[in-house]
Amino acid sequence: MSDVRVTPWQRDQFPPPPGELLTGMQARRPNGELIGIDRVLLRSVPLATGWNGLLGRVRADFTLNLEYRELVMLRVAVLNKADFEWGVHHPAYLEAGGTEEKCEAIKHQTVADGIFNEEERALLTLTDQSTQRVDVDATVIEDLKRLFGEAQTVEAVATVAAYNMVSRFLVALAI
């Protein structure tokens, strides 16, 4: 974290962020330890508050299968060259049921079809199109609706969008 382009927040800085914000951020992290992105976000309390709420919901409250959400997060990290994001979500993906074989497969520009099921392929197509060109083909959305229903389609699109925001923040500030 020494090359980060802004000085990360430290515990001895005043004024301290609100206690409930720190508690909420720590609750989302293994062992309650703040990570690099948290310390940069804490340079702006309003940003940290909104970010923690949004990403906390994406990570914990969506009904779309966690393994699928983590797959999307990893693919966004690959496409945007967000190594920090990969490092955080790789173990989470494996813990949610993903495999190393699939992790290796999504590192390639074109993802091989044979390793992923129909749902995963649809999510990867969504992720690639939304991340690389923003515009997503209507047929991709129709496939997602057929496979997941409308609510989980919205959650899938929101996961891609949210983690594109994350990766762009990470890469721009060299976190």
Q: How many beta carbons lie within 10 A of that of residue 86, not counting itself?
A: 21
Q: How would you write the pLDDT of the chain (175 residues) with one tens digit per residue?
A: 568 999 999 988 878 899 999 999 999 988 999 999 999 999 999 999 999 999 999 999 999 999 999 999 999 999 999 999 999 999 999 999 999 999 999 999 888 778 999 999 999 999 999 999 999 999 999 999 999 999 999 999 999 999 999 999 999 999 9
Provide long-range contacts, Cβ within 8 A and 24+ apart, for 160-163. 160/72, 160/76, 160/126, 160/127, 160/130, 160/131, 161/130, 162/54, 162/55, 162/58, 163/58, 163/72, 163/73, 163/76, 163/77, 163/85
Boundaries of every domain in the chain: 19-60, 67-172
The 10 Å Cβ neighbour count of residue 100 is 10
Question: How high is the pLDDT of residue 2?
Answer: 65
Architecture of domain 67-172 in CATH?
A: Up-down Bundle (1.20)
- pTM value is 0.93
127: Cβ contacts below 8 Å, ≥ 6 apart: 72, 75, 76, 79, 160
Specify the pLDDT at position 1.
52
Predicted local distance difference test score (pLDDT) of residue 167? 97
